[in-house]
Amino acid sequence: MLTQVLINGILIGGIYASFAVGFSLIFGVLRIVNILHGEFIMLGAFITYWLFKLYGIDPFLSIPVSFVILFIFGFLIQRYIINRIIEAPEIMSLLLTFGLSLIISNLALTVWKGDYRLVNPEYAGANFKILSFTIPYVRLATFSFALAAVGALYLFLQRTDLGRAIKATSQNKIGARIQGVRPSMIYAVTFGLGAAITAISGSLISLSFSVFPSMGGDYLLFSFFIVVLGGLGHIPGALAGGLILGILQSLSTNFLGAGMTYILVFLVLYVVLIVRPAGIFGKGLV
Amino acid sequence: MKAFNKLKWGIFLILILFAVMAPLKASGYWLRFLTFIFMWIGLAGSLNLLTGYTGYLDFGHVAFFGIGAYMTGVLMVHLGMPFFPAMFIGAILAAVMAVIVGIPTMRLRGAYFAIAMLAFAEAMKQVVMEFDRFTGGGNGLSLPIYTNYLFFYYIMFSTVILTIGVTYWFEKSKFGKALMAIREAELAAEVSGVNTFRCKLVAFGISAFIAGIIGGIYAYWMTFLYPGDAFNVLITMRMIIMAFLGGAGTLLGPIIGASFLAAVEEVLWAEFKYSYLIIVGFVVVFVVLVLPRGIVGLVKEKARVK
């Protein structure tokens, strides 16, 4: 029983890690806490839902579509809106992304209504057994996709010129500018990339959880929890944070009741902020 | 500037006189409407004391409203306590919780505080749901019924006076100046000998105390509490929007922002429930990009040009 609960937690934790990574990336480079983050997940999930519902496209095949659409969306928002106040005090970007999130989530609510929707391809319920443990194929596949996305992002930042330019901008903006990097463009690309990778996890989430316009709020909270645990701006930390949240949630849902998750999340957050504000690895920005 | 000050006090006196006299003429609907506006002025003002003066944005301020409301309700229902002491204890509890949450979060950058508070409000809602023996959980909590609407009108109005008074004290006192120094440049304030951490905590506690008082009054006024209503994220959103629309960190800002938005809401809310929030979103974006100092800032700029 306990092992089964842990397995479930880890499988969900992979998805959690993948949406927290986008949050961490955007914070690490742009130094803004993106309240819009939950909306990226919601949009990714809805893209997958509609492609599946209207055209019968397999949810996994819709991932590239989510990625591209949200990249363009994020790029434009940063390029034309957030860049205008990027040098202003932190509270301004908090407010601005909060306003944008109000617009997007309520626009979605007006257009798509508040119904809870499900993406359920015929293989949705299939599973296999190892020893006596049940592992659903879908959860395993989404877990692998999520980890692959995190890995790809990490390699992109380490190995490509654009990735290095992003890292350089986050470390020293003036230095990067001297080397011919345009911070405003890097910001737009980073925000687009953060949105796109988050949309991937939105698509993956739609396979396990219901899709509705106001779903973003919870995921914003979870993202924050994960990146604080892993260290704000420290990308590998998000992986650990995601797994911890997945396990924590799975345990509390099974043994304490679903409502307790929020209380536990807050208590753990509280203790971590006191004991290790820079995350469990101590590499976050405080 | 002197003329502007005189004008300000003149407007104030007229408004206060108007508010005190209103019940002589106004009907039930208008009194209820004005009572709501007072509530929002108080709430926006309480958020303003924290966010406007220290620069710490609070995404979970509704938690203190909810704590005040539920503590008042629980004390009145289960201990048979009279309203005023129950409300007072509720507000004290809100302030104590603020200090407890503030101790780790206010040492860090504002973003940690903002979202930790979001988590706190969500957690408090769940706590109320879990302790259903006292709070009624998801079934709600019924308070003793008291229907004297004039009582609620005047007591809500006195919270407005309280909020304005405290804000005025922030504007004029050394403590308030220390807070503004924190908002503008925390490190510089620290170096100049301001105990920034303690100042922030005190401001946070006062702000939560006022939100708690208003929550208590709201509970007694509505006579019925739901966790989903008393800890509604929308309440926090409105407080933030009202404070910033009017002009955060000013005396008049929350009053103007709350009156304006509450009035607009009254007209738009019923007919355009969701599109209303889209419009509000655009207003927030507009305020940040075009009018970062709010309506009050706009008026002040104009006054300066003369």
pLDDT in tens, B173-194: 888 888 888 888 888 888 888 8
Run of H or E including A247? helix A235-255
- Residue B274 corresponds to which amino acid? Y
Phi, psi of B141 (to 5 degrees): -130, 125
Distance CA B217, CA B152 (A): 7
Q: Indicate if the pLDDT at residue B299 is higher than 70.
A: no
Residues of A whose CB is below 8 A from B59: 98
Rounded mean pLDDT of A263-274? 86
- CB-based contact A140:A128 (threshold 8 Å): no
Rounded mean pLDDT of A252-275? 83
Distance CA B17, CA B237 (A): 30
Residues 86-105 of A with CB under 8 A from B: 88-92, 94-96, 98-104
Cβ <8 Å between A90 and B111: yes
- In DSSP terms, which residues pair with B224 in a beta bridge? B142
Position A168 in a domain: yes
Torsion of CA B212, B49, B55, A73, to 10 degrees: 60
Position A55 in a domain: yes
Residue with tokens 């004991």: A275
Kindly report the pTM of this predicted structure.
0.87
Distance CA B139, CA B98 (A): 27
Q: What is the pLDDT of residue B75?
A: 94
Q: Where are the alpha helices (DSSP H) in chain B?
A: 2-25, 28-47, 53-54, 62-78, 83-105, 110-130, 132-135, 149-172, 174-184, 186-191, 196-222, 227-230, 233-246, 253-268, 273-290, 294-305
Distance from CA of A135 to the nearest CA of B (A): 31
> Using CB atoms within 10 A of its CB, is residue B21 exposed (0-12), middle (13-18) or buried (19+)?
exposed
Cβ <8 Å between A259 and B288: no
What's the pLDDT tens digit per position in B94-134?
999 999 999 988 888 788 888 889 889 989 998 998 888 88
Q: Indicate if the pLDDT at residue B303 is higher than 60.
A: no
Cα-based angle B41, B43, B47 (whole degrees, multiple of 5): 115
Residues of A whose CB is below 8 A from B289: 81, 84-85, 96
Position A284 in a domain: no
What's the pLDDT tens digit per position in B39-52?
999 999 999 999 98
Cα-based angle B218, B220, B224 (whole degrees, multiple of 5): 85
Rounded mean pLDDT of A45-72? 92
Question: What mean pLDDT, rounded, does chain B reach?
Answer: 86
| Residue A191's pLDDT band (cuts 50, 70, 90) | very high
Q: Indicate if the pLDDT at residue B251 is higher than 70.
A: yes
CB nearest to A85's CB, from B112, B123, B288: B288
What's the pLDDT tens digit per position in A139-180?
888 888 888 888 888 888 888 888 888 888 888 878 888 887
- Residue A95 corresponds to which amino acid? L
For the domain that residue A68 is a member of, what is the CATH number? 1.10.3470
The residue among A214, A113, A97, A257 whose CA lies nearest residue B137 is A257
Among the ranges given (A47-51, B16-20, B82-86, B147-151), the one the predictor scored with the smallest mean pLDDT: B16-20
Q: What is the pLDDT of residue B60?
A: 92
Phi, psi of A130 (to 5 degrees): -115, 125
Q: What is the pLDDT of residue B4?
A: 64
Position A286 in a domain: no
Cβ <8 Å between B278 and A102: yes
| Residue B304's pLDDT band (cuts 50, 70, 90) | low
Position A285 in a domain: no
- In DSSP terms, which residues pair with A129 in a beta bridge? A134
Distance CA B253, CA A202 (A): 39
Question: Between residues A48 and B280, which one has the greater pLDDT?
Answer: A48
Q: What is the pLDDT of residue B95?
A: 96
Per DSSP, B145 falls in state P
Rounded mean pLDDT of A111-140? 81
Decide if A62 touches B, using CB distance below 8 A: no
Cβ <8 Å between B111 and A103: no
Residues 246-265 of A with CB under 8 A from B: 257, 259-260, 262-263, 265
Q: Which domain holds residue A129?
A: 2-275
Distance CA B179, CA B189 (A): 9
Distance from CA of B128 to the nearest CA of A (A): 11
Position A160 in a domain: yes
Position A282 in a domain: no
Rounded mean pLDDT of B62-89? 94
Of A178-187, A204-213, B137-146, where does the model show the most confidence? A204-213
Phi, psi of A210 (to 5 degrees): -75, 155
Residues of A whose CB is below 8 A from B285: 81, 96, 99-100, 103
Rounded mean pLDDT of B242-258? 87
Q: What domains lie within chain B, and their CATH numbers?
A: 33-305 (1.10.3470)
Q: What is the pLDDT of residue B306?
A: 43
Number of independent structural domains in chain A? 1
Return the residue in B62, B103, B126 with the most chain A beta carbons within 10 A, the one to mutate for interface testing. Answer: B126
- CB-based contact B121:B66 (threshold 8 Å): yes
Position A68 in a domain: yes
Q: What percent of chain A has pLDDT over 70?
A: 99
